[in-house]
Amino acid sequence: MRDAGQLPVLVGIGQVRGNRERTVAGAREPVRLILDALCAAAADATPDASCRLVRDLDAIDTVHVVSWTYADLASMLAERLGADPRYRGGVPVGGHHPAELVDRAAARIAAGESRVSAIVGGEAQASVAVLARAGVDPARDLSWSAEPGGPACFDPDVLGSPAMRAAGLVLPTRVYPLFENALAHRLGHTPAEAAAWSAALYAGFSQVAAANPAAWDPRVRTAAEIAEVAPGNRMVCEPYPLAMNAMPLVDQAAAVVLTSLAAAREYGVPEEKIVHVWGGAGAVDAADVLQRPSFGDSAALASVLDRCLAAGGLTVDELDVIDVYSCFPVVPKIAIRHLGLPSAAVPTVTGGHSAFGGPLSNYSLHALVAAAGRLRSGARTALVQANGGYLTQQHAVLLGRDPHPRGYIGDPEPVATAGPAPRVISPVEGEAVVETATVEHGREGGPDRAFLVARTAAGERFAVQTAPGDAASVQVLSLYGEKASREVVGRRVRVELRDGFAVVDPA
């Protein structure tokens, strides 16, 4: 085991929930929420030396903020805290980054390059939406930062490849259902059986959220409530109604403070608050989902789970705490299957994205806060898995109540897991087999358009979208058409191309 100066430990945790009432007066800028979370984390670690702890920060890592734009958030925080960290980092959009940043901070401590590090993130998307509806300019009227200020802009390349964009596959709400429907087919589940599992899973998540004071929606919901499509729970993209989608309109922030074990003792952190960061693993799959070998699993997710457990010398049965990313049910379903957990497992310590809240890229930092709290309360080991992109980037981190016998055992550099994929071609006309598909419903509740990934007789893959309002094509690919609970994946269809859209008929 390494000496105490190179053992990374998590000593401070903090999180805040703001403006749950969604009022103009209650709106706080993301940087304010983040500062509140960081100050709470420092006070949590050592109330008597919290000011000294934040002033001594030698590293600040910031998760990307989407609801408001900052030129250099880490430096802004350092200035307001009176700190002068040597390392000031920021990352692009991606839900895997909180776990990766904790892993990287731990690696720096283990290498003797850092003693006191903070990882922070937060969003005020609920308040930004409220202010926009009220005609309030946050920078002009509320003195929010104007350097540069305003909501974030996205490079189109972040949303998907040219082939994905041409097929309309540019939103998570459209892409994740493709994985869900392919997984259900692989498992031999009917649409009704797959939906029942999703609803039961998220009902369990809601029970966890109800006990979490930072949860955005702390209601306990039944599986029936989550599954029922109703005016307050409209279908978004089949098979996911709104209650099975992440809730990004939240004001939430979180922060963790890492130090070496030696530094923790110097600052007077009580032993019962010290959580050891064993380390983690990262992986990345093909950014273009059409280049993936399969829509029914995730090689990157499997890689990080396997490598974390192997490095830690653990079996899944030795994990006391597991939090799996849950932007959509298919992610925890894949993890549950890969880990060999029972289908009734509820792998969350926060309550998940739909109940706890989905503060865009920062959800897993809240999961790390909650996992650390569980370890302080008696659990021995915890695994937090974080997901970015379209099941694209993955990172997982192991935490322990005690140090690992080998000290830090992580490897924060992601490995590529892209495997052999079928040949992807431009859309073609003629007969094809549905590999996976989803139907998007309009805000008024009716089905509007379909998105199809299909294979030709030669096994080539192509993707298309139907024109908005093409009811006949939608009927062919809908799970909820004239034949309820029918199988769509594996069906033979005929595709015609008209003005950039597909018309789909039964073959």
pTM (predicted TM-score): 0.97
Q: How far apart are CA 411 and CA 397, in angstroms?
A: 10
Q: How far apart are CA 304 and CA 301, in angstroms?
A: 6
Asked whether the beta carbons of 354 and 247 are under 8 A apart, the reply is yes
- Render each residue's pLDDT in the chain as its tens digit; 507 residues: 578 889 999 999 999 999 999 999 999 999 999 999 999 999 999 999 999 999 999 999 999 999 999 999 999 999 999 999 999 999 999 999 999 999 999 999 999 999 999 999 999 999 999 999 999 999 999 999 998 888 777 666 677 889 999 999 999 999 999 999 999 999 999 999 999 999 999 999 999 999 999 999 999 999 999 999 999 999 999 999 999 999 999 999 999 999 999 999 999 999 999 999 999 999 999 999 999 999 999 999 999 999 999 999 999 999 999 999 999 999 999 999 999 999 999 999 999 999 999 999 999 999 999 999 999 999 999 999 999 999 999 999 999 999 999 999 999 999 999 778 899 999 999 999 999 999 999 988 789 999 999 999 999 999 999 999 999 999 999 998 654 457 899 999 999 999 999 999 999
Structure tokens at 287: 């950014």
Q: Which residue has the tokens 């922030």?
A: 253
Exposed / middle / buried, residue 438 (Cβ in 10 Å: 0-12, 13-18, 19+) = buried
Asked whether the beta carbons of 101 and 91 are under 8 A apart, the reply is yes
CA-based nearest residue to 409, from 290, 298, 311: 311
Asked whether the beta carbons of 33 and 18 are under 8 A apart, the reply is yes
CA distances from 439 to 151, 407, 435, 499, 501 (A): 29, 49, 14, 20, 14
**pLDDT of res. 485:** 52
**pLDDT of res. 484:** 45
**pLDDT of res. 334:** 98
Q: What domains can you pick out in the chain, each with its CATH number? A: 4-144+248-416 (3.40.47.10), 430-506 (2.40.50.840)
Element of type H or E holding 202: helix 191-210
Structure tokens at 204: 């369990």
Asked whether the beta carbons of 250 and 358 are under 8 A apart, the reply is yes
**pLDDT of res. 449:** 97
**pLDDT of res. 149:** 82
* Spatial CB neighbours of 79, under 8 Å, sequence gap ≥ 6: none
Asked whether the beta carbons of 366 and 254 are under 8 A apart, the reply is yes
**pLDDT of res. 465:** 98
Give the SS3 label for residue 178.
helix
Structure tokens at 433: 């087999």
Q: 329-340 burial, b for 16+ CB within 10 Å, e for fewer?
A: bbbbbbbbbbbe
Q: Which residue has the tokens 């033979």?
A: 492
348 secondary structure, DSSP code: -
CA distances from 104 to 77, 240, 411 (A): 20, 35, 8
Q: How far apart are CA 178 and CA 239, in angstroms?
A: 9
